[in-house]
Amino acid sequence: MKVSVLQMDMLFCEPEKNFKRAGEMIETAAKGGADVIVLPETWNTGFFPKENITALADKDGEAVKSQIGSLAKKYNVNIVAGSVTNQKGGRIYNTAYVFNRKGETVAEYDKTHLFTPMGEDDYYTRGDHLSPFVLDGVKCAIIICYDLRFPELIRSYTTRGTDCLFVVSEWPKVRIPHLTALLKARAIENQMFVVCANSCGKAGDTVYGGNSRVFDPWGEEILAAGENEEILSCECDLSVLSGIRESINVFRDRRPEIYDIK
């Protein structure tokens, strides 16, 4: 499975320009032979417009479905369309959408853990569901940025057989070492591929750090981005999964009957 990560430098509070830029980057990646294209978190608005959030938000994902979903169909490619600031049911959500090669929506996930240190919970509503999905026969899952710090959420996916976890984020430059360490740990402990598309550039006073990564189930880094906008691609050899899980069978050896995490 060839994965292309779009490390996008989105413009703060400029959704029309960001949709145009995302479309250009998707076209480039698709023409490069990608099987799956991945965008970062809240790429339509940046993280996050407090004064005019409702006016700038997508409306129940209509723009994403129309513009990004149509590109998935046009180029016959799967698109993990990052997340967008999204209004639905009278509330604002941080919503991720995933499209298959037919342009069909195969997953819609609302960010579960909102980043309280920056007041995300004052403007967005917490999600309340998992969204596993399948792309080209591969069992996948998606989380958004701060979700990465909560291993219980990710293990809830992997006990269902997830082979590839997509992490879409807008992670600040100052905490990039945390991002890298957590991505690697999640890959090793869950024996799966972990694909992270992180944004770069600046939104408000915050500088976002890029450094998008892909780790294999051994924790080996197979893709590493810098700090600037770029498109990077790598092959994820899914055939290695069975051998890894047979040699160190952590899922067989789990003891859920004695775990108490509530």
Is 0.95 surpassed by the pTM of this model? Answer: yes
pLDDT tens profile 155-185:
999 999 999 999 999 999 999 999 999 999 9
- Position 16 scores a pLDDT of 97
- Position 62 scores a pLDDT of 98
- 233 near 34, Cβ under 8 Å? yes
- Of the candidates 13, 65, 111, 170, the residue annotated as catalytic is 111
- Position 210 scores a pLDDT of 98
pLDDT at residue 138 is higher than 90: yes
- Of the candidates 145, 164, 196, 234, the residue annotated as catalytic is 145
pLDDT tens profile 79-117:
999 999 999 999 999 999 999 999 999 999 999 999 999
- Position 261 scores a pLDDT of 81
- Average pLDDT of the chain is 97
| DSSP strands (E only) in the chain | 2-7, 36-38, 58-59, 78-88, 91-99, 105-110, 133-135, 138-144, 164-169, 193-198, 200-203, 206-209, 213-215, 221-224, 230-235
Catalytic residue check, 184:
no
Catalytic residue check, 196:
no
Residue type, 149: R
Fold adopted by 2-258: Nitrilase/N-carbamoyl-D-aminoacid amidohydrolase (3.60.110)
Catalytic residue check, 145:
yes
Quote the crossing angle between the two packed helices 151-158 and 176-190, to the nearest 10°: 30
**What is the distance between the alpha carbons of residues 113 and 148, in angstroms, rounded to a whole number?**
9
- Of the candidates 13, 41, 140, 196, the residue annotated as catalytic is 41
Q: Where are the domains of the chain?
A: 2-258
**What is the distance between the alpha carbons of residues 103 and 94, in angstroms, rounded to a whole number?**
21
Residue 64 carries which DSSP code? I
Span 1-26, average pLDDT: 97
- Position 145 scores a pLDDT of 98
Give the largest CA-CA distance in the chain.
Answer: 53
pLDDT tens profile 217-244:
999 999 999 999 999 999 999 999 999 9
